Structure 1
């Protein structure tokens, strides 16, 4: 399978296809204040330097995915580590950065930082409901310096629905296996320069895990959005004033605990009895005020925003009276020191083991956290003529502050007759601290076109004032400041009307958290890219090579990586390099039948440059030449469609090579690794004219069960075969 898919990838690479999904709603998007950048499409060659991908609403509707992992499989240079199968807690990286909780990429919604605390605690435990997004934008390369604070890899911008200029509404209802259900509705209109939009989404599933002792392993998510705007048509400038309000909540019966490899081979979808009490409960609110002023050569957008997020996640932290971690127990369950612990976790024996035996009760930690993220930012794009040259200038200023307030506590449960039961012992405090950051960021980019050459020079500045204090230990606190200048230079040379070359270099940066002392360095890298584009008729192609040279690679250890602390670790010098390809071709069999075909391919290699010993478990004792964990060498996504009159069929084949779960050599059989996988997804729809359309889909058609991760604790499977059917109506 691996050789077949690689051969197919190489064959199609020499038969060029589209770089980016074609946008059929240019008139709407060009006026949209939700987008960070409007990319040209159609028959015109894109001449912007730097890698950028736009997935439009048309592309997102093909498979009706709710999982951002599956959506981003159609974008090159994306590395993902699955966890729960539904994408509830995404782990996304670009160009080889750690995908851990998506903390090394900048995540935006409508151009605004959407992570719970992007500077102080960038782990993306909150992620917007993707089914209500109308576009997904991915920026890598030198363009990343516009969208900090995380600039080592790139930026993901999720675009919500714009207020329509006329009456517009829609309804989407779907039911499927494993208790899956979706209800999505929206309505918007503009009347006398006042526009409104209301949108609501509910998604739920019973889950696909088999919990020992029975129980729901699924989730319920609700998401509500309201927008109101006022349009001011001026003689010289047009203006839009908009208020956006959103609310989201989630209850998911999810756990950090995986399986032993033997239990995975017996039943990959089993969940141990010790995870019965596991539950995540979250609430997110956003308020954003936007003002946009635009003319033929000027566009200024001001955004004032505030996000509040609260979460409580009850999950197994460990066992009493043992020094073995959950990872160690599940990796070596037959070790004489781990046998009893494993048997308690799996419900085979009671935790109170009788006279003369040490009790092995369950430690359940409820990680209560509250977050605030707020600020004001101004982005401007304008053109001026200097020295007989046209300058396209982009400038942005953001004043931002965020905070995480941890109020973690733990409770003691006992395992009795295969059930995890709360004891009468009172709860006790665990982690009690606050981390906060005030940040000022500024960027400036100037693009100059001289004949066939467009050169862009940019500079980003970040100044961060950070504070940490323990709420119990009054002498445990820290204030620190960090400032940095990040330059970037890129260019695009037009070889012809249909082809061109791009190149760029920029400095990447990832700040350390307020808690980390001066011994923990910030992450810095020099990133290079070189490639080209081709666009003629129905054929489009983009090939980009990249090389990221890290002065200091950094990792953070938290429970999502199998640790019980929030410490960051330095990994010294390292390199990540590879190739990205995105292609598309549309074939017309006759006047009624079209066959759109696209392919995305990513090749990635990584290497530590120094020897060191780290307390960070996925690294350990590292030797020069060791590979960085959680990176697949080869990834390919092939999409084939069939459009005929009122019906449409789509097949997606996604291949992901094996990934090392810890630093090491790929040919070392003692290093834990995931399985290589080839996942087939199919979808089909039929238009009913004025009565809407019906659609059906099957994710993981072949029901392939593979190991997708060894984190946080133990082996984890991907999503099994899930089927659903739905009805969609729009007017």
Structure 2
């Protein structure tokens, strides 16, 4: 760490003497190469389907001249020496275009018309609209591009997702290995109510029957993140209650590219990313390898290896095939066990390895293939096959919370190891570690196939019609065993439970997009879900058995969205759709004594949304959305990660409503400044409550707030980048107070699992510098710069603290 910091300081000092180019959106100055050659200002205009394309990357190869087009698709490169160049124009989802140009007195303006890339556009992305107002998306949307990811210097995906209004992200451990995302007041536990994709393919363990995020895509290797809420998600499934999050990875480049990124920090934290891409005879390849590890990152120890490879093969001028393979291997000391309230109050056991024998091993293999065929006459056909298998073996040491006998003495468990944590004078305030384990071993298999046809045509001169129609089949299976070991580190022992859960799902959908003139668009659609599942139990409570039960759920999911375009810079949108979330098979078919074969229906709601997106002035954009989620019966799935031990928690009718707002200001575009100054803010005002009378512990909870649904969240960022390449970034995050149970307990319980969580505010800081002649960027980042101590969650089994002040430094270079 010391040598890396010294290297960075030296790099900053050396680069200060280098004459570097300016890199700002619609005006850019480059390095003077030859004083004897005349300097010219070069104008570049980029279009797609005759529409101006803002955000396109433009560069002159083998020079320092580069920039990003503004909302009008325009860019000016200043002080370019006369001569011959190759200009390259790129945009995610479109074919990279290169052209030989000559800069001279009579040749100073160049136009580029980019074509949609069929493989990138439909295989990897959810948001295909390319203007800042997202006119074809009838709902709220947030796209985080690669440039923003680089400025944030994010250590975890949690940092990025908190930047989206309406999302509440709960840290389970500081490393961000497991995503816990709540959308608009929905329970964030294991992100069960969110459809999470990578390059358009579901990544949950079993997307229908067990949509837990024990595997989470690593933000280190991402090129962008998309989030859609509201009726814009109707095409996707199975989850359509909260929203869709799509992680986008790098595509094969046109020519050879090699990249290396290294980030190191406290506690032995290291993230090493290596990428190689090239195109051979029109066949593109992209290989990415990530090694990430830490010895003690806020109490988390982990090592992960993440390998991804993409191949892109044009089969003809009308079709293209893409193949992706990935392998993921993670080992960590992840645990469910947190601190008791007395441990938190005493401040003596922060980030201790309370359960040092706990060990989680996650292995995942995945493959997918995407094919697009342009049929002609406005028709195209898109086919996707995907399959993956995930093994999640988790050894967890057993423990007991202290209690007293009639004489006031602590009752010690018979297999007590002699190690305890907390205050033994308070019932439930101490943890006695036991000399035995519970090994929860699970394997998940998923295979699916989807075909979607699209047709675009025009009627008369004022009606544009797009049809999306398709089907999706998915098979999934889960193998689960519980093995009790007879020592604190045993990985084998007595087989207690053994079962298999199988699901077959078929869905079909149709969406019509009807645009009337320039001012109105209507998008009615419907999706049909047919989900058949079965649970087979071969061993239960250490006794052999054979119990089989099954169920089938059929659901119609209608929705409609509308857009009104009163002005080119104003987009009004609204929509309503049926929210749908299938129940976990383990909970939907329950063989416990209390619930002998309990069959649950799918979780349903009516979701409403209305809002606007506007460009107030060049560089000034805003979005405002009102939302309402009206649940007939919200099912809170029982699981240890949700703080429940057994059974199904039926929450009854609930009502989630609120307002999301965001504003972005780019001073470079606003005042034509050579300095890049970006200021933004996103906020969510939320009221998520139980909406019918229900008595819990003698209390009617109607009107109480839902657990882990803060009433206020704020995220704000400030970026300042100088023309010579040095920049700094501040990111502020505020999360309001939260309740952790349905009776809205204020006072904490002794075991730390329930009680109100106070609001907290975090401030992150980053400093970076571009050394453009070396194609290198160096950086240093400080997370939680004020070192605030706060409770991130009281789940699953006690208090977990958020990441303390954490410092990293590193570099990335294009070779």
Give the Å deviation of 1:267.
Answer: 2.9
Q: How does 1:300-699 map to 2 (within 5 A)?
A: 300-319=381-400, 340=412, 347=420, 361-385=434-458, 389-413=463-487, 421-422=488-489, 427-451=493-517, 452-472=519-539, 473-515=544-586, 516-517=588-589, 518-535=598-615, 536-565=617-646, 567-588=647-668, 591-612=673-694, 623-645=701-723, 646-665=725-744, 672-691=755-774, 692-699=776-783
Give the equivalent residue in structure 2 for 1:150.
Answer: 239
- Alpha-carbon contact 2:210-2:584 (below 8 Å) kept: yes
Q: Is contact 1:603-1:634 (8 Å) kept?
A: yes
Instruction: Kindly state the Cα deviation for residue 561 of structure 1 after the two structures are TM-superposed.
Output: 1.9
Alpha-carbon contact 1:196-1:226 (below 8 Å) kept: yes
Q: Name segments (4+ residues, structure 1) moved above 6 Å.
A: 332-335, 341-345, 666-671
Instruction: Check 1:318–1:130 CA distance in 2 against 1; reply closer, same or farther (3 A cut).
Output: same
Q: For residue 208 of structure 2, what is the aligned residue in structure 1?
A: 119
Query: How far apart are residue 290 of structure 1 and its match?
Result: 1.3
Please report how far the alpha carbon of residue 252 of structure 1 lies from its aligned counterpart in structure 2 after TM superposition: 0.5
Q: Deviations over 1:377-397 (max 9, x none)?
A: 123332134587321122231
Aligned to 1:41: 131
Task: Decide whether aligned partners of structure 1 residues 222 and 460 sit closer, same or farther in structure 2, where only a CA change above 3 A counts.
Answer: same
TM-superposed CA distance for 1:198, in Å, is: 0.9
Aligned residues of 1:598 and 1:639 also touching (Cα < 8 A): yes
Q: Per chain length, whose mean CA-contact separation is higher, i.e. which structure has more relative contact order (CA < 8 Å, sep 6+)?
A: 1
Deviation at 1:243, TM superposition (A): 1.5
Counterpart of 1:7 in structure 2 is none
Structure 1 contact 57–133 (Cα < 8 Å) conserved: yes
Counterpart of 1:54 (choices 143, 146, 152) is 143
Q: Distance in 2 between the 1:348 and 1:531 partners? A: 51
Structure 1 residues 477 and 167, CA gap change in structure 2 (3 angstroms): same
Deviations 1:235-288 (A, max 9, x none): xx3x21122111011011121111122212333753567501011111101111
Among 787, 802, 806, which residue is 1:718 paired with? 802
Please give the secondary structure, in 1, of the residue aligned with 2:92: helix
Structure 1 residues 629 and 641: CA distance shift in structure 2, 3 A: same
Distance (whole Å) between structure 1 residues aligned to residue 756 and residue 599 of structure 2: 31
Structure 2 vs 1, CA of residues 335 and 539 (structure 1 numbering), >3 Å: closer, same or farther? Answer: farther
Aligned partner of residue 608 in structure 2, secondary structure:
strand
- 1:643 Cα deviation after fit: 1.0
- Structure 2 length-normalised TM: 0.78
Q: Is the CA contact 1:257–1:316 (under 8 Å) kept in the aligned structure 2?
A: no
Partner in structure 1 of residue 198 of structure 2: 109
* 1:296–1:255 Cα change, 3 Å: farther
Distance of aligned partners of 1:460 and 1:153 in 2 relative to their CA distance in 1, 3 Å threshold: same
CA distance in 1, matches of 2:660, 2:54: 19
User: 2:12: which partner in 1?
Assistant: none
Question: 1:67 aligned to 2:156?
Answer: yes
**Are 2:576 and 2:606, in contact at CA under 8 Å, matched by a contact in 1?**
yes
Aligned partner of 2:369 in structure 1 is 289
Aligned twin of 1:728: 812
The alpha-carbon deviation at position 612 of structure 1 amounts to 3.0
Unaligned runs of 5+ in 1: 1-20, 211-216, 320-325, 352-358, 414-420
- Match runs of 1:114-263 below 5 Å: 114-209=203-298, 217-234=300-317, 237=318, 239-263=319-343
TM-score (norm 1): 0.86
Q: CA deviation at 1:366?
A: 1.3
SS of residue paired to 1:131: helix
User: Deviations for 1:667-715, whole angstroms, at most 9, x for unmatched residues?
Assistant: 7888712221111111111111232111111111111110111111111
Distance 2:452 2:348 in 1: 48
Q: Which has the larger radius of gyration?
A: 2
Distance 1:426 1:161, change over 3 A: closer
The CA distance in 2 between the partners of 1:659 and 1:127, in whole Å, is: 25
Q: Would the alpha carbon gap of residues 143 and 218 (structure 1) be closer, same or farther in structure 2, given more than 3 Å must change?
A: same
Name the CA distance, whole Å, in 2 between partners of 1:660 and 1:285. 38
CA distance in 1, matches of 2:783, 2:760: 14
Offset of 1:340 from its aligned partner?
A: 4.8
Q: Provide the rounded CA distance (Å) in 2 between the counterparts of 1:333 and 1:147.
A: 55
Deviation readout 1:82-129 (Å, 9 max, x if unpaired): 211211111112111111101111111111111111112111111121
**Which secondary structure state, in structure 1, belongs to the residue aligned with residue 163 of structure 2?**
coil
Shift of 1:137: 0.9
Indicate if the aligned counterparts of 1:522 and 1:552 stay in contact, CA closer than 8 A. Answer: no
CA distance in structure 2 between the partners assigned to 1:306 and 1:396 by the alignment: 19
> Structure 2 stretches of 5 or more lacking a match?
1-52, 58-89, 95-116, 425-431, 590-597
Query: Aligned partners of 2:126, 2:442: CA distance in 1, in Å?
Result: 30
Pairwise CA distance, 1:135: 1.1
**Is 655-664 or 340-349 further displaced after alignment?**
340-349
Q: Are 1:479 and 1:514, in contact at CA under 8 Å, matched by a contact in 2?
A: no
In 2: Cα distance, 1:298 partner to 1:333 partner? 76
Alpha carbons of structure 1 residues 620 and 85: separation in structure 2 relative to 1, 3 Å: farther
Bigger shift: 425-434 or 572-581? 425-434
User: Which of 83, 90, 94 is equivalent to 2:172?
Assistant: 83
Separation of aligned partners in 2, 1:296 and 1:654: 49
Contact 1:244 1:288 in 2 (8 A): yes
Q: Over the residues paired in the alignment, what is the CA RMSD in angstroms?
A: 2.9
Offset from partner CA, 1:150-197 (integer Å, 9 cap, x none)? 111111111111111222221001211111111101011112111111
Residue aligned with 1:142, SS = helix
Q: Secondary structure at the match of 2:268?
A: coil
CA contact (8 A) 2:144 2:226 kept: yes
